[in-house]
């Protein structure tokens, strides 16, 4: 096993001698210094696994050095030693990033336990952050360990091992697009095309032409022959996002293509084939849509062979801290530990826009922080009271318990108020597209009208 290197910083010769002898015997490699300046010089040139730091040094109070030390050497454990009467100072040192504090006279067994625990903790943290960094470098998504997301990964793995049609369902921003790409990247077809079509942004003829292609002259703007995306996806994956918004006529043609494994370009008679793997995604309730006639029932049965439901962030709060760290690492923010206050505020929030909203909110916070450590003030709208935005379930001691629609409605109204009615800003903060916001506002208006 690797020998851990410890730096002892204390101005008393006898103390240094005592600690050194004990810790060398315990198998540590020891270096010592007697003042702050020496300690700074030593840490600038060597790496230490832990630093044992007396706070009162001849050239200053080592307390002020702790934040700098922790940010420059994030995997070095810091153990502070103070006088027995100075507990408030010791507590302050922990807030500044020290791992443990011990009071004088130091009990050697306590010292030994504190050291090994702190070093072990830093080792684990280092390994965790290396894992996360590697995942980020490979552009891999972060999933987490909550039982609900583990189930999703299990299904996604099955989907990756075969070529069946997959239907991803989940609220906006839960990662349907990301998971579709992940399934493709882990499938035999990974070196072939991954073709994404957003069925809500293209309507009618435009979507048909985009999917099936067209022959020159088949409509006014068809100035030359053009292959459709179904053709481009041959051998690879066709990802039909927001399939719930697809026009009925296009649905009919798509069903035929899936069933017969062949299609025609618009304005052409030639039958073409394309061997694509189909992944669809929607945040709409397709069962309901197929019952009320806005989605073809036969197409629904055809694509609902292997459905995967993506949980909302609030259903997997265990994964939130990992997701926050993963996202911050992606933005190269890794110097400062997150304060408990920030973590608590984020964990208590309702996240209607899910991972997308979390990402947007963190990005905005980093801009506001301008390179300084993040505080709750960098999360405007969230900083006031976690309780005020806690889910109603968490406020059950009160009188009101809202259903999900009501929560969403209130949240949208709050966001619009916060941005003085600016729908663009509000939709971006909510982590939804502008068109989704308009859709939701329309729905809210209809509900109000019929109420
Ligand atoms: N597993 C993940 N790990 C890291 N980031 C993720 C993950 N899933 C989603 N994200 C982030 O959240 C954003 C939204 O994800 P995505 O577009 O896949 O959601 P969606 O469910 O398709 O939303 P919509 O229904 O609005 O299209 C992505 O751009 C990505 O930054
Ligand atoms: Mg999407």
Q: What is the mean pLDDT of residues 386-404?
A: 46
Q: Name which residue sits closest to atom 24 of ligand 1, judged by CA.
A: 172
DSSP states along 410-426:
HHHHHHHHHTTT-HHHH
Q: Name which residue sits closest to atom 15 of ligand 1, judged by CA.
A: 175
pLDDT tens, residue by residue, 295-339: 999 999 999 999 999 999 999 988 998 999 889 988 887 766 788
Q: What is the mean pLDDT of residues 256-279?
A: 93
DSSP β-bridge partners for residue 445: none
Q: What is the pLDDT of residue 391?
A: 45
The mean pLDDT value of the chain amounts to: 86
Q: What is the pLDDT of residue 297?
A: 96
Q: What is the pLDDT of residue 394?
A: 43
Q: What is the mean pLDDT of residues 401-405?
A: 61
Q: Which atom of ligand 1 approaches the CA of 175 most closely?
A: 18
443 CA to middle of ligand 1, Å? 24
Share of the chain above pLDDT 90, in %: 50
| 132 close to ligand 1 (CB < 6 Angstrom) | no
In three-state secondary structure terms, 82 is strand
Contact 207, 228 (CB under 8 A): no
Q: Which atom of ligand 1 approaches the CA of 282 most closely?
A: 25
402 or 383: which leads in pLDDT:
383
Q: Which of 124-138, 235-249, 299-313, 348-362 has the lowest mean pLDDT?
A: 124-138
Q: What is the pLDDT of residue 59?
A: 93
416 CA to middle of ligand 1, Å? 23
Tell me the C-alpha to C-alpha distance, in Å, between residue 273 and each of 258, 261, 279, 280. 10, 6, 18, 20
Q: Which of 142-151, 197-206, 334-343, 377-386 has the lowest mean pLDDT?
A: 377-386
DSSP β-bridge partners for residue 213: 227
51 or 125: which leads in pLDDT:
51
Q: What is the pLDDT of residue 401?
A: 52
Q: What is the pLDDT of residue 435?
A: 75
Measured CA to CA, the distance from residue 339 to residue 274 in angstroms comes to 53
DSSP β-bridge partners for residue 5: 29
Contact 444, 412 (CB under 8 A): yes
Mutate to test the pocket of ligand 1, among 355, 358, 408, 438 (most ligand atoms within 8 A of CB): 355
Whether 147-310 and 5-136 are alike in CATH topology: the answer is yes
Q: What is the mean pLDDT of residues 123-152?
A: 76
Q: What is the pLDDT of residue 386?
A: 40
Q: What is the mean pLDDT of residues 181-207?
A: 91
Q: What is the pLDDT of residue 392?
A: 44
Q: Which of 81-95, 318-332, 333-347, 384-398 has the lowest mean pLDDT?
A: 384-398
CA 121 to chain centre: 23
Q: What is the pLDDT of residue 129?
A: 62
Q: What is the pLDDT of residue 319?
A: 92
Measured CA to CA, the distance from residue 310 to residue 312 in angstroms comes to 7
Alpha helix ranges (H) inside 261-381: 286-291, 297-303, 320-330, 340-348, 354-369
b vs e for 322-352, b when ≥16 Cβ sit within 10 Å of the residue's Cβ? bbbbbbbbbeebeebeeeeebbebbbbbbbb
CA-wise closest residue to 293 among 251, 241, 242: 251
Which strand ranges, in their side-by-side order, compose the sheet holding 77-82? 29-33, 5-9, 50-54, 77-82, 100-103
Asked whether residue 359 carries a pLDDT value surpassing 80, the answer given is: yes
Q: Is 82 exposed, middle or buried (0-12, 13-18, 19+ CB in 10 A)?
A: buried
pLDDT tens, residue by residue, 1-50: 578 999 999 999 999 999 999 999 999 999 999 999 999 999 988 889 99
| 141 close to ligand 1 (CB < 6 Angstrom) | yes
177 or 371: which leads in pLDDT:
177
- Where along the chain do its domains lie? 5-136, 147-310, 313-450
Contact 249, 204 (CB under 8 A): yes
Asked whether residue 424 carries a pLDDT value surpassing 90, the answer given is: no
| 142 close to ligand 1 (CB < 6 Angstrom) | yes
The tokens for 175 are: 């990662």
Q: What is the mean pLDDT of residues 140-168?
A: 93
ω into 105 cis (within 30 of 0) = yes
Contact 366, 338 (CB under 8 A): no
Q: What is the mean pLDDT of residues 276-280?
A: 97
pLDDT tens, residue by residue, 220-230: 777 788 899 99
Measured CA to CA, the distance from residue 103 to residue 82 in angstroms comes to 5
Q: What is the pLDDT of residue 183?
A: 96
DSSP β-bridge partners for residue 278: 238
CA-wise closest residue to 144 among 282, 354, 325: 325
| 283 close to ligand 1 (CB < 6 Angstrom) | yes
Q: What is the pLDDT of residue 405?
A: 72
Considering the four listed CATH numbers 3.40.50.300, 3.40.50.2300, 2.70.98.10, 3.40.50.720, the one that applies to the domain covering 147-310 is 3.40.50.300
| 176 close to ligand 1 (CB < 6 Angstrom) | yes
| 175 close to ligand 1 (CB < 6 Angstrom) | yes
CATH architecture of residue range(s) 5-136: 3-Layer(aba) Sandwich (3.40)
Contact 17, 43 (CB under 8 A): no
DSSP β-bridge partners for residue 30: 6
Asked whether residue 429 carries a pLDDT value surpassing 90, the answer given is: no
Measured CA to CA, the distance from residue 174 to residue 354 in angstroms comes to 5
């Amino acid at each position: 096993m690797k020998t851990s290197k410890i730096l002892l910083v204390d101005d008393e010769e006898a103390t240094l001698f005592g600690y050194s002898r004990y810790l060398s015997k315990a198998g540590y490699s020891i270096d010592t210094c007697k003042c702050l300046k020496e300690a700074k010089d030593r840490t600038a040139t060597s790496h230490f696994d832990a630093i044992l730091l007396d706070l009162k040094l001849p050239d200053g109070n080592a307390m002020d050095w702790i934040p700098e030390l922790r940010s420059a050497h994030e995997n070095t454990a810091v153990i502070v030693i103070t006088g027995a009467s100075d507990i408030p100072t010791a507590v302050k040192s922990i807030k500044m990033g020290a791992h443990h504090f011990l009071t004088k006279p130091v009990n050697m067994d306590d010292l030994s336990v504190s050291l090994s625990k702190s070093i072990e903790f830093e080792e684990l943290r280092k390994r965790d952050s290396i894992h996360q960094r590697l995942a980020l470098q490979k552009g891999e998504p972060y999933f987490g360990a909550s039982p609900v997301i583990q189930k999703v990964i299990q299904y996604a793995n099955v989907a990756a091992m075969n070529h069946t049609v997959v239907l991803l369902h989940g609220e906006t921003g839960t990662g349907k697009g990301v998971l579709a790409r992940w399934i493709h990247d882990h499938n035999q077809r990974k070196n072939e095309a991954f073709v994404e079509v957003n069925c809500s942004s293209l309507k009618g003829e435009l979507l048909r032409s985009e999917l099936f292609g067209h022959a020159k002259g088949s409509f006014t703007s068809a100035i030359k022959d053009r292959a459709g995306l179904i053709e481009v996806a041959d051998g690879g994956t066709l990802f039909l996002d927001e399939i719930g918004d697809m026009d009925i006529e296009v649905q009919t043609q798509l069903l035929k293509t899936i069933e017969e494994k062949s299609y025609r370009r618009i304005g052409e008679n030639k039958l073409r084939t394309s061997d694509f793997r189909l992944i669809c995604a929607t945040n709409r309730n397709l069962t309901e849509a197929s019952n009320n006639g806005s989605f073809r029932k036969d197409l629904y049965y055809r694509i609902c062979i292997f459905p995967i439901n993506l949980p909302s962030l609030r259903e997997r709060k265990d994964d939130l801290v990992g997701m926050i760290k993963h996202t911050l690492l992606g933005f190269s923010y890794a110097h400062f530990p997150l304060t408990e206050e920030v973590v608590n505020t984020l964990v208590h929030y309702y996240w209607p826009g899910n991972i997308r909203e979390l990402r947007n909110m963190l990005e905005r916070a980093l801009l506001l922080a301008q390179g300084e450590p993040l505080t709750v003030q960098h999360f405007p709208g969230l900083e006031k009271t976690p309780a005020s935005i806690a889910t109603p379930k968490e406020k059950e001691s009160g009188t009101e318990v809202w259903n999900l629609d009501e929560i969403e409605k209130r949240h949208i109204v709050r966001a619009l108020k916060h941005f003085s009615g600016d729908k663009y800003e509000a939709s971006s903060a909510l982590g939804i597209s502008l068109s989704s916001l308009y859709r939701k506002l329309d729905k809210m208006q209809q509900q109000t009208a019929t109420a």
